[in-house]
Amino acid sequence: MKTAFNGFIYEYDAIDKDQNEVANDLARMLRIRYKNDAPRRPPRVIILGPPGSGRGTQSKIIAKRFGLVCIQAGSLLRDEVKRMPALAMVISKCIHEGKMVPDDIIIPLIEARIKQSDCKVNGWVMEGFPQTTA
């Protein structure tokens, strides 16, 4: 996938870097334009890391600092459980057993959220998706 989006995807490894260095590097990356005369596109940031690594905390901080929408897969799933009782059993079972929620449930939720106007205008930072067993 990275080769298909070459020039649009930037990876950043924050291991062994102090908080200020990470913040400055992220601010620089969010200002990058693909071409000098191109309009600035709303940022789209995905935070990855193992459980307990602070993804949720960092995604909220980044969203607040840069005016982005914070999208957390766990929150979307909890909202869906309240909204759709039919899916509540499947989602709740996966969460309680520590399993991943099936893609046919989570992907439409993520897709619908990033298509909302606030995400299109302001950009977003996402945490908790994608999840893989690798």
- The reply to whether 98 falls in a domain is yes
- The reply to whether 129 falls in a domain is yes
Q: What pLDDT shows up at residue 29?
A: 80
- The reply to whether 33 falls in a domain is no
pTM: 0.76
If one counts the domains in the chain, the total is 1
- The reply to whether 110 falls in a domain is yes
**Domain containing 99: what range?**
73-134
User: For residue 10, which phi and psi values (nearest 5 degrees)?
Assistant: -120, 125
Q: What pLDDT shows up at residue 70?
A: 95
Question: How far is the CA of 65 from the CAs of 1, 22, 125, in angstroms?
Answer: 29, 13, 11
Query: In order along the chain (134 residues), what is the average pLDDT of each group of 10 residues?
Result: 59 82 83 65 85 86 90 89 84 83 89 94 87 56
